[in-house]
Structures are given as structure tokens and as C-alpha cells.
Amino acid sequence: MALDKPYADVPGTVIFDADQARKGYHLNQFCMSLMKAENRERFKRDQRAYLDDWPMTEEQKQAVLARDYNRMIALGGNIYFLAKIFSSDGKSFQYAAATMTGMSQEEYARMMLQGGRSIEGNRRTAELSAKEKK
């Protein structure tokens, strides 16, 4: 019997569950390797060559090279692992979060200062699409 995944209808959200972790194992382990300074240097010198040392899918490698965090998450990445990539790039959590929302970092920071993204209309995908139709 399939597992119940009540979180599947939370909009704009991928829950890092066992299935995602299975898909993203090598992607996430690559991220872990960036916790060592010498690995960060090697990665920065030749990203493609560094990635080719890992048994990741081509799609995952492309997503890393493009710093497409939504894509990396769809392909099994987890944000705390992916944090090693943007930390190596000298970027903050807020920068990475902003890129995933399609907002500029300034717009995103302003939204946070104004109290953050509202929960209204953001609980279920059905609500969100109803809002978009209006």
C-alpha cells in the first residue's frame, strides 16, 4: 500500500522524505564534501570536473551549475545540504530563499520586514490556484 503523504498538496513545497532522499543521495553527499576547505577550492577551480567525480545524474549536475535551487530540490536535494553550495559561494540563506521565490533579494527582504509571506491562500494548492484565477 502506498504511504499517505498529506503534505503533497502544500503549495510551493517539497518535503524531503525517504523517496526524495533516495533520489538525492549523491547530490546531497556532494554538497557535504564542500564542508572541507580544500574541496571548496577544487570545486571552485573546475566545477564540472568536480561534479563528474560524483555519480549524480546529468540533470542534477546541470541544476548545480545553474544554481537552480528549486530544480535541485525537485531532484532530491535538501536545503540544509544545498546550503553548503551557497555558503561556498559566499551567499546567505536569505539570498538562496529569494532566488527560489522568483523575487530579487531586496524584494524578498522587504517582504520579510513587512511580516513575511502570508499564510492566507498558501495552505493548499487548491487555494493557491483559486487565488491565481481571480
Contact residues for another protein, defined by CB under 8 A: 6-7, 10-18, 21, 24-25, 28-29, 31-32, 34-37, 40, 69-70, 73, 78-81, 83-85, 87-88, 90, 92-94, 96-98, 100-102, 108, 111-113, 115-119, 122-124
Instruction: Name the nearest CA neighbour of 27 among 74, 93, 87.
Output: 74
Name the residue nearer to another protein (CB basis): 31 or 56. 31
What would the grid cell of residue 55 be?
555519480
CA distance 3 to 102: 32
Name the residue nearer to another protein (CB basis): 1 or 18. 18
* Shortest Å, Cβ 67 to another protein: 14
Instruction: Name the residue with cell 500500500.
Output: 1
* Shortest Å, Cβ 85 to another protein: 8
Instruction: Name the nearest CA neighbour of 28 among 80, 81, 85, 67.
Output: 81
